[in-house]
Amino acid sequence: MSNLQTATFAGGCFWCTEAIFKRLKGVEGVISGYSGGRVENPTYEQVSSGDTGHADAIQIKFDPSIISYEQLVEIFFKLHDPTTLNQQGADIGEQYRSMIFFHDEEQHKVAEKVMERFEKEKIYNDPIVTEITPFIDFYKAEDYHQDYYEQNRNSNSYCRIVIDPKIQKLYRDFKSQVKEDVD
C-alpha cells in the first residue's frame, strides 16, 4: 500500500464528508479532523467557537490507480455547496468553509483546473468560493467524531436529514465509483 496518496478537503461538517468519501472505490481510509488554522492540536469545542481559524476537514488515503485525485476533487465539488462562504446548510461559521489543501504542485494544478472547469461550465449559479491552499497541518478530531455516520445514523436526526441525502446523491451520480461492500 505504499502507493497511497493523501488528499485533504474541508466541505462543511466532517461527518458528512467522511461518510461520502469512505464509500469510494480506491479510498483506503478517511479521518475527520481540523486544518487551515493557527492553533496546534485544537479541540472540537475550540474549533466550534470559530476562533482557531481551522475548518472541519477530512484527510483521505487513496490509491491513485483506482481513483484519481481529479475524481476526488470533482466529487468534492459536487457533494457540497462550494458557493457559500463559511457555511454549509444550517452549519454556519468559518469552520464550515470550503477548502482544498493541496499536498504538492500537481494537486494544486488539478484542483485549480477542476474549479475553473466548473466555473466555465456554470455548474453553479453563484461563483465558487472554495479556497485552494497549501497543506500545512492536519489534526485528528476526537475519537467520537470518527466514523460518526456509521455509529449514529439511526439515532441522530442530523445523519438522516443532512448526511443521508448526500449519500443518496453519491449513489445516484457516482454509482460506478462506490464500493459494493458499503451500504
Please identify every residue annotated as catalytic: 13
Q: Which amino acid is at 23?
A: R
Greatest Cα pair distance, the chain, in angstroms, is: 42
β-pairing, 131-134 vs 98-102, is: parallel
- Cβ contact 41:139 at 8 Å: yes
Q: Taking the CB of residue 165, how many other CB atoms lie within 10 A of it?
A: 11
Grid coordinates of 150? 456509521
Place of cell 462506490: 178
